[in-house]
Chain A
Amino acid sequence: MDYKGYEVIIGLEVHAELNTKTKIYCSCKNEFGLEVNSQCCPVCMGMPGTLPTLNGKVVEYAVKMGYALGCTINPVCKQDRKNYFYPDLPKAYQISQYDIPLCEHGHLDILVDGEERRIGITRIHIEEDAGKLIHDDSFSGTLVDFNRCGVPLIEIVSEPDLRSSKEAKVYLDTIRSILIYLGISDGKMQEGSIRCDINVSVHKPGEPFGTRVEMKNVNTFSGAVRAIDYEAARQIEVLEAGGTISQETRRWDDAKGENVLLRSKEDAQDYRYFPEPDLSTIVLEESELAAIKATIPELPNKKLVRYMKDFGLPEEDAHLLVDQQEKAAFFEELTALNKVKPKNASNWILGDISRLTNETGKTIAELGISAPALADLIALTEGNKISSSVAKSVFEEMLKTGKTAGEIVKEKGLEQVSDTDALQAIVDQVVAANQKSIDDYRGGKTNALGFLVGQCMKVSKGKGNPAIMREMLLKILEG
């Protein structure tokens, strides 16, 4: 994206739904996609006389995210009411946190174009989600479904440290991946489990920051990229035309690819925050916090860098492994055996293993192949005991029979032939039958060599050592 010499300043407020069993302030199930108004009770419907009770898991999950993002945890904090009228908010106030959030002063390291960038995290607080409005022309009015009322949310507020839509996208992907790693959110975009508000301003380098505009209703990460680029371009156009940017809130319409004014600064809502009198103080003991901290696994952004640095994996491969926790764990189990090269381990996981999990819908564990068993197979290829094409069929056999690679190779006599006399005979046979390829090679078409090696492998039924046969072929061709 070309920002025409302007610097773009972006801050994000990410709302993530937590996957606790129950809602934040009542014991209703926290489940998506059920029949309208079926997961409700007097509390989340805001009936007169009802009172909230805070779900302990919500606090635990939010603290987890706080530790994951290097935050300071406020062991003594409270909840506040944010007052506004809207049909999806049954109490006409949202229970949230105002001046003392559960977590603050953190940071997130993201990898952009191979460089690590540190993005400041202002705060993470807990709050309740609102219901859903259904706009459908078949009804005379707008319908309200309260199932989502009281679904627990964490709001993660970043510092204005992001400088492009691309960085914002990486930031969002990384946040999502961490939520999933921690097991605290499903991260399902299509179900609205992660949403964000975006703050954008632009300015010429060296000049002070511009006026910031807030954008609401961004429901996908790709939408966030479009929304940022649209808003940056809009602001730049205004400034280039000699205009000024006013502090306002705009609403992103992803279908139209544009945003419209929602309210200006003058219409800013007065939320009349005050401490929630129906709840008392959240007090977390040091031991509780230590116990939560101890559960934090190595996070995907850190794994990514480590896989690249320690194992020499290319960024794309590292990403693919890290993206799914089970793949990363299997990769680490494989490499920990110290039997095979990390790159080969990675290739197997991203190749045949991924293909199988995709085809069957099974997890790696359900495929029924252990890391040591796979390591033995890979080691056979690395030790030139079997060729890679044989390895694939051995792998299939392992899955079918549960036998070890060694057993299968031995039983079926698949061990790679490295005996030069036997191989020379094969090579000679192939050379005799493929004069055209030999002429091609000599005429400069060097990829004919690959074809010839392939032919040798075919004749040897995959058992011939391709490297030795390649050498033999070369000798003949160059000779």
Chain B
Amino acid sequence: MELYRMTATELSEMIAHKKISSVELTRSVLDRIASRDKEIGAYLTVDEEGALAQAAKVDAKLAAGESLSPLAGIPLGIKDNICTRGIRTTCASKMLGNFVPPYNATVIEKLQAADYVCLGKLNMDEFAMGSSTETSYFQKTRNPHDLERVPGGSSGGSAAAVAAGEAIVTLGSDTGGSIRQPASYCGVVGLKPTYGSVSRYGLVAFASSLDQIGPMARSVSDTALLYSIICGQDPHDVTTARRSYSDFVAGMQPSVKGLKIGIPQEYFGEGVAAEVRESVMNVAREYEKMGAELVEISLPSTSYALAAYYIIASAEASSNLARFDGVKYGFRAAEYKNLEELYENTRSEGFGAEVKRRIMLGTYVLSSGYYDAYYKKAKFTQLMIQDRFRQAFQSCDVILTPTAPDTAFKLGENINDQIKMYMNDILTVTVNIAGLPAISIPCGRDSKNLPIGCQLIGSKFSEQTLFNTAAAYENLVGGFDLDQAIC
């Protein structure tokens, strides 16, 4: 089999036993990018030279008899909102088109310590605002399963790269579903970790209280492997939890015997495509056959969560993105007569339409006279939602829902209808609002032969349970079939 098609877990073993070199593997993936990415458009920057140099370094270390991390020598793609020292980090925005960070994100430091190989930076919706990767200033990314369709978003490049064999595993970020929805659309696995388990230092902020970096991969164990490396408390990010983490790969026990799986009716409603509903209920029945107990539960209205999400996320975004003003870094408008014009022209020319809408919405909900009715009420709604999840987890261990209301839509289909686009997030935003972990795994295809994803939601820091539950289904179906995308 071509090396680029294999999982990190398999490749790690082969590298460690010197059956293959990291350079061979990296070459294989770079060749794949060279041949495939013209169509897919997953990468904004490919660092061929750096990747091969890093791979050679790993090979040298192994030759010298060093024992390395299981991620050593594995080629990764990184979402382009995670700062990489010396490598352009654009957030897929004109605003940061030429921005080269002078520092590394904490997750990048951790990956470097684990001797990873950095392939380059992946396309996304501009500043992670969007659900189709179409708001990228630079390029469209196509779904490897159907090139007429979007890969989902905002981590569309991360999902498409993994699905198309253009990376072994990737990092994405998830503020309202930005890892899980594209994972679902591209038929791969994506984990949105518990808020506070992965450092946000170096992740260009969209919504600080909701953003989390997470892994995307073609298998559950690869997802667990990458998560084991990136999680942990970071002194540079005081919102990371003060706790220690076990090795999630070693802790893997793919069984659901005795597990209580909650099924919230609110997530299987009218807005969800029948084929998607049926597929996810099928997963539930398989779990039941494997010894799990299905429990009907009730969660708060998804429209509350969506409203609270768009208010909180946009409020924080309006403030987080204020620093892009043409003064210190990034784009500066060519024409201006004074400071005010420098600000207005830079920001008007540098940001795309979706980013401007979110900034305006955020400014509105924080402005004098509206703060209490919108922002504050949304924050109290968030508390209510968190509380309802706490109650729900008293009667179940994990919650099973569809990841997205439907499968991948066509490029351009929703781009002019914001509300329709926002509805893509309706099943995922609640998890961010509640700060919980959730994993999306493939669970079949619809009549258009597009991947369907289901979402497993756990209580805080229950990632191991999610991996175990997801792996039980993965084992049952004999792994996730990506032949169509990866061929």
- A residues with a Cβ closer than 8 A to B are 42, 45-54, 81, 83, 85, 87, 90-93, 144, 270, 272-274, 277-280
Contacts and interface: CB of A to CB of B under 8 A. Distances in A.
B347 to A, nearest CB: 9
Nearest to B105: A49
Given A87-B339, A272-B363, A49 B328 contact: no
A93 B325 CA distance: 12
5 contacts: A48-B89, A49-B82, A49-B201, A272-B363, A274-B319
A53 B367 contact: no
The secondary structure that dominates the B interface is loop
Contacts of B156: none
A83 B239 contact: no
B235 A53 contact: yes
B203 interface: yes
Interface in B318-361: 318-319, 322-325, 327-329, 339, 343
A455 to B, nearest CB: 77
Contacts of B327: 87, 90, 144
Interface of B: 81-83, 89, 91, 96, 99, 101-103, 105, 200-205, 207-209, 235-239, 315-316, 318-319, 322-325, 327-329, 339, 343, 363, 366-368, 371, 375
B328 A46 contact: yes
Contact of B322 (A45, A93, A277): A93
Given A85-B325, A93-B322, A277 B209 contact: yes
Contacts of B208: 277-278
Nearest to A146: B328
B153 to A, nearest CB: 19
B329 A47 contact: yes
Given A83-B322, A274-B375, A48 B237 contact: no
Given A48-B101, A270-B367, A278-B208, A92 B323 contact: yes
Contacts of B83: 47-49
A91 B323 contact: yes
Given A49-B203, A54-B238, A83-B319, A42 B367 contact: no
Contacts of B329: 47-48
Contacts of B201: 49-51
Contacts of B205: 48-49, 278
A90 B366 CA distance: 20
A253 to B, nearest CB: 20
A436 to B, nearest CB: 80
A438 B238 CA distance: 86
B105 A42 contact: no
Given A49-B204, A83-B318, A278-B208, 12 more contacts: A46-B323, A48-B99, A49-B101, A49-B105, A49-B202, A49-B205, A51-B200, A85-B343, A273-B366, A274-B316, A274-B366, A279-B239
A83 B366 CA distance: 10
Contacts of A50: 103, 201-202
Contacts of B203: 49
Contacts of A93: 319, 322
Nearest to B199: A51
A48 B103 contact: no
B78 to A, nearest CB: 13
9 closest pairs, A vs B, by CB? A92-B322, A272-B366, A277-B208, A277-B209, A48-B204, A49-B202, A49-B83, A49-B204, A270-B368
A40 to B, nearest CB: 10
B328 A280 contact: no
Given A51-B238, A87-B327, A274 B101 contact: no
Contacts of A272: 318-319, 363, 366-368, 371
A403 to B, nearest CB: 57
A268 to B, nearest CB: 9
B323 A274 contact: no
A259 to B, nearest CB: 23
Contacts of B363: 272
A53 B200 CA distance: 13
Nearest to A279: B238
Contact of B371 (A46, A51, A274, A277): A274
A51 B320 CA distance: 11
Contacts of B103: 42, 47, 50
Contacts of B318: 83, 272
A277 B339 CA distance: 29
Given A47-B329, A270-B367, A278 B239 contact: yes
A50 B106 CA distance: 10
Contacts of A83: 318-319, 322, 366
A81 B319 contact: yes
Nearest to B207: A277
Nearest to A269: B368
A280 B238 contact: yes
Contacts of B204: 48-49
B101 to A, nearest CB: 7
Nearest to B368: A270
A48 B96 contact: yes
B92 to A, nearest CB: 13
Nearest to A45: B328
Given A53-B238, A278-B238, A48 B367 contact: no
Contacts of A87: 327, 339
Given A48-B83, A48-B101, A272-B367, A92 B325 contact: yes
Contact of B239 (A45, A90, A280): A280
Nearest to B322: A92
Contacts of A48: 83, 89, 91, 96, 99, 101, 204-205, 323-324, 329
Interface-centre pick from B83, B200, B328 (highest chain A CB count, 10 A): B328
A50 B102 CA distance: 11
A52 to B, nearest CB: 8
A273 B89 CA distance: 29
A279 B343 CA distance: 28
B348 to A, nearest CB: 14
B38 to A, nearest CB: 29
A48 B322 CA distance: 11
B122 to A, nearest CB: 16
Contacts of B316: 274, 277
A272 B366 CA distance: 5
B323 A90 contact: yes
A273 B339 CA distance: 23
Contact of B315 (A46, A47, A274): A274
Contacts of B315: 274
A54 B237 CA distance: 10
Contacts of A144: 327
Contacts of B82: 49
B242 to A, nearest CB: 11
A103 B31 CA distance: 62
Nearest to A43: B236
Interface-centre pick from A45, A270, A273, A274 (highest chain B CB count, 10 A): A274
A47 B101 contact: yes
A90 B324 CA distance: 9
A42 B368 CA distance: 31
Nearest to B211: A277
A280 B319 CA distance: 17
